[in-house]
Amino acid sequence: MPRKTRPLDRDRGVVRDASLIVIASEDEYVVRDYFSRFATRRVQVVVIPTEDGRSAPADVIARLDGFREEFEIKEDDQFWLCIDKDHWAESGHIANLVEVLQQCKQKGYQVAISNPCFELWLLLHIEDVDPTPPLTCRQIVTRLKELPGGYNKKDCAGLDLDVAKLTRAVERARLIDTDERAIPERPLTRVYQIIDALQAKDAIDLS
């Protein structure tokens, strides 16, 4: 069966030869909402969110596999797993997480892991975060809710996002990314590496 045409949003000015950055997320709303704010002509960012509660690491990587099988793919397309450490690193799930990360390496998928959660990346747009003490996702979400505009798990519309804040988020995230392990013990987020990929393609624009 022939593969489907590449999902390029021509209505938003995405050019015909644009490359894809495909992000599979364990989150249902906020990751897709965040990246939907990036308007790019040379790169189409596609976020595949969790549906029907299927957020286990194996389910997330399966969505990347499914996308590759369904659509036409170019050599310079990138595939990312955007995943949180929090409860997947508990004793009952750690083996599954390790297995999925090994599969990503074998398949050429890149991993943007956050410890404890994606919301740490959002908070870094606004302020510095001390990576020394353990941080829970609940603490980070509580702090986001205290900020002007507030926060909820269904979108990040209240986040005042611009290029300057994005640049600072990348700088802050890179500074605290001092744990070289694939499953980090220290609080950090590697979502900035997706931004690096966009910048490498000269594709950063915010709507």
Distance CA 63, CA 48 (A): 7
* Confidence label for 148 from pLDDT (cuts 50, 70 and 90): confident
Q: Domain of 120?
A: 10-200
When mean pLDDT is compared across 73-77, 128-132, 140-144, 156-160, the lowest value belongs to 156-160
Query: Contact, 108 vs 117, CB < 8 A?
Result: no
| pTM for the structure as a whole | 0.91
5 CB-contact burial (10 Å; exposed 0-12 / middle 13-18 / buried 19+): exposed
SS3 of residue 43 by DSSP? strand
Mean pLDDT of 12-32: 89
* Structural domain includes residue 129: yes
Express as a percent the part of the chain with pLDDT over 90: 56
Alpha-carbon distance values, 116 to 81, 139, 162, 184, 189 (Å): 15, 10, 24, 9, 8
Distance CA 33, CA 137 (A): 19
* Structural domain includes residue 96: yes
Distance CA 196, CA 204 (A): 10
* Structural domain includes residue 153: yes
When mean pLDDT is compared across 76-85, 148-157, 172-181, 182-191, the lowest value belongs to 148-157
Cα atoms in the 13 Å half-sphere on the side-chain side of 133: 7
Adjacent-strand bridge partners of 136 = none
* Structural domain includes residue 150: yes
Nearest to 122 by CA among 26, 39, 35, 184: 35
* Structural domain includes residue 4: no
* Structural domain includes residue 70: yes
**Predicted pLDDT of residue 207:** 47
Q: What confidence tens digit (pLDDT) does each residue in 28-69 have?
A: 889 999 998 877 778 889 999 887 777 788 889 999 999 999
Q: What confidence tens digit (pLDDT) does each residue in 172-206 have?
A: 999 999 999 999 999 999 999 999 998 887 666 65
* Structural domain includes residue 167: yes
**Total domains in the fold of the chain:** 1
